[in-house]
Amino acid sequence: MNRYNSPKSNLPKQKNLIPEIIYEDKKLLAVIKPQNLPVQPDRNSTVSLLTLLEDYFEFSRGIEEPFIGLVHRLDRHTGGLCIFAKTPASLKKLNRCFAEHQVEKRYLTVVSDPSNNLDSAGTLTHYLTIDPKCNFVAASKTASQGALKATLHYKKIVHIDSAYGPLCLLEITLETGRQHQIRVQLSSMGYPVMGDAKYGICPLKNESLALWAYYLEINTYSFISMPKPDNPYFKIFEAFLHEETFKKLLSKD
């Protein structure tokens, strides 16, 4: 299996709204989505990662009407890895992989953990109800009509007492991909994501959510991208987020 890592720093590219492409071949693109940028246009913004890619290939690469196929989504406030198809045939194959759950997606997040009693690893299952009018998701431990089952697996990486209180760095592996799933499930268990004004704790104004899609495996591809150090919550764990150090932490039981 081929693994492709993102460059250590490409912050100027993000500031200039030039897509940060970490891998490209004839079939697909692996791109880093900046936080607070939607994957596709929505009611709040016509600028999106998808439109930036289309403009980049048309105006910088000189490809008229480029095909950029949307394969999956990340929430607006979540940053990290996204893949896009470059041909209709590739889009069909990649969509099938997602539909048949042949994709592994892992995230990193920083949560509030005041009592430091979160188990070292575990599985959370909830039933989520979405209110589209206010874009809010509620979690319940019991099934109900219209609720969507959501399951994730977590691993506790390290706990730190910080200026924002006791915090914990978690690795999350999704079994399902529901709207706001990680944020809602962790918050409902008493471990809210830092920087989350909707479901979590947000001690700083205008700071990004501490949630990053850092690993994606599909077919013969695997991609990795560690969180950007400009996020104040991830910065607290910066010493643990160098790739080699992080691998050693993951390997511990």
Mean pLDDT for the stretch of residues 135-156: 95
* Distance (Å) of CA 157 to CA 111, 191, 206, 236, 241: 11, 14, 26, 13, 10
For the chain, list the strands marked E by DSSP. 2-5, 20-24, 28-33, 69-70, 79-85, 103-112, 121-131, 136-140, 148-162, 165-174, 211-218, 221-224
Range of the domain at 25: 2-251
Burial of 107 (0-12, 13-18, 19+ CB in 10 A): buried
Q: Are 127 and 148 in contact (CB under 8 A)?
A: yes
Which pLDDT does position 201 carry in this prediction?
Answer: 86
Query: What is this structure's pTM?
Result: 0.89
Mean pLDDT for the stretch of residues 145-149: 94
Q: Are 31 and 83 in contact (CB under 8 A)?
A: yes
Which pLDDT does position 11 carry in this prediction?
Answer: 33
**SS3 category, 128:** strand
Which pLDDT does position 242 carry in this prediction?
Answer: 84
Tell me 239's DSSP state.
G
Rounded Cα gap, residues 253 and 244, in angstroms: 17
* Distance (Å) of CA 38 to CA 15, 106, 187, 224: 15, 19, 23, 20
Q: How many domains does the chain have?
A: 1
Query: What is the b/e burial string over 171-205, where b = at least 16 CB atoms within 10 angstroms of the residue's CB?
Result: bbebeebbbbbbbbbbbbbebbbbbbebbbbbeee
Quickly list H helices, 61-180. Answer: 88-99
Mean pLDDT for the stretch of residues 19-34: 96
Which pLDDT does position 9 carry in this prediction?
Answer: 34
Which pLDDT does position 112 carry in this prediction?
Answer: 94
> Which tokens sit at 228?
């950007």
Which pLDDT does position 45 carry in this prediction?
Answer: 75
The residues facing 126 across adjacent strands are 150
Which pLDDT does position 248 carry in this prediction?
Answer: 72
The four Cα atoms 168, 171, 176, 180 give a dihedral, to 10 degrees, of 40
Higher pLDDT, 71 or 133: 71
CATH number at residue 57: 3.30.2350.10
Rounded Cα gap, residues 102 and 225, in angstroms: 20
Cβ neighbours of residue 20 closer than 8 Å, sequence gap 6 or more: 6, 7, 10, 13, 14, 31, 32, 34
Mean pLDDT for the stretch of residues 28-32: 97
Rounded Cα gap, residues 110 and 169, in angstroms: 5
Tell me 17's DSSP state.
T
Is the pLDDT score of 88 beyond 90? yes
